[in-house]
Structure 1
Amino acid sequence: MTDPNEPLVLIEQRGHTRMLTLNRPHVRNALSVALSNALVAELHSADDDADTRVILLTGAGGAFCSGVDLKDLSEHGFDGAESVDGNCITHLADVRTPVVGLVSGPAVTGGFELALACDFLIATPDARFADTHSRVGIVPGGGLTARLTEAVGVRRARQMSSTGAYLDADTALAWGVVNEIVPPAQLHDRGWSVAEAMLTADARTLTAVWNLYDALSADGTATAVERESVVNRGWSVAGDEVAGRAKSVVTHGRSESATS
């Protein structure tokens, strides 16, 4: 169990690189409201710091993020209209500083959206990716339908969203979800190393190039992200409905992880 006195997002600064670590390992870093708010605050703090030129995003305890906390959803339900200020995924996608995601273990549903909102991903062999929104009964609201399609193509995106099937790391690499796979013990070191290589670029030039890539991505996804957000904001699900589905979602995830 995580010490309640520990921060929900751990921060480590090395030179011009800042690592943010989601810190709810006892629930595989599931996104509670508190964790989401803490991540938003830390992302903006890093983005506003002129000395921080690269952000690394990872999760504690061998998991990236298992998605929105189903216990929270079961107790309170879901009302997209309450997310008028967006969510941590939207805020992540909007930061100007390059963000490299370091993924081990599950990156599922909201956690998958969070990973896709990073600029690129480095993963371990045990990384697993899945979209189970349809199983939970909630329309995505963090740009998944846009960014997953950008990464893997619409046919593969349809398959993932309709079946909830898990991608193993090798398939995620072949499909273009992740850039490379490294041994678990080397994940953080590889992240720091890649960040260091990025820092050797001329800062002004890299910013201009990064803005061009951002604009290119926005050309293809901005309308799709907004369309998804509109549907999400109008979506609501009662807590007892989520509770009724939560057990089957968890069982599905365990069976998929065991066989993949």
Structure 2
Amino acid sequence: MDKFYNETLYRLEAEIKELEIETACPIQRIEKVIPIIILCLSEVKEYVLKNGFKNIDKEIHFFKNQKPIIVSKLIYYNAIYKIETKKPNDAKAIKKYLKEELGKLKKYFDNNLEFYKYYRTNNSFIDEKLFVRGEHDIKLSLDTIYFETDHRFSTSHDYKVAKVIANDLIQLYLEDQLNNNSKKKNNNSSTLNWTGNKTALTELIYALYSQGVFGNADIKVIAKTFESTFNINLGDFYHTFMELKSRKINRTKFLDSLRDALIKKMDEQDEK
């Protein structure tokens, strides 16, 4: 099971990363990501139903540590899709909206505090009630979704683990959005916003750095300047660069598209 799961998860994360590189618009990207996660989850379910588990410990490990990783991605991307499609345009309204979304996460945390404590402190004394199929205790704060799921592939609390993981990621996303919103509000010197994806800008920054167009400036200084000028948070741009290096084909995809776009523009003007 572990070998199949690890290979499936690796393939899923690689496909998601590729979409992040190719698709600038977060909404369009998520529309492509969600079906991939659903398909992955379906493949894992098929494997579990066909092969089962060697013992209860293996079953607990899967429903406590493995399945929730995939489901959390589904919860996360679906939540971000809703957030992005409902987000207002006005900066002040955006701030209020994002804080309200953070408030929803806080409410879920407060309502499930005991489970958060159990899960985050790596307790296991009631794992057989929480992560074994066919076992459930109504007194253990069950989500309604449990009664609607396929119990051949669900336990009473594997979804709740996925929700905990996803909510942590959603919180980081919202806080990042709030931080970017504050930067835009306070930065009166630039009204330019980078509308492409972060990977594309990272590719451009490293190209300029490699060419030495900013003299001996450190890559971190260059990256921070671009972040400030174009109102964007690149996150771990070095990790992004390593992903660019690992591409099997077309490692300079964005730079190539810039060249093609410029040549096309020149050709169009020559024809006038």
What TM-score comes out, normalization by structure 2 length?
A: 0.28
Larger helix percent: 2
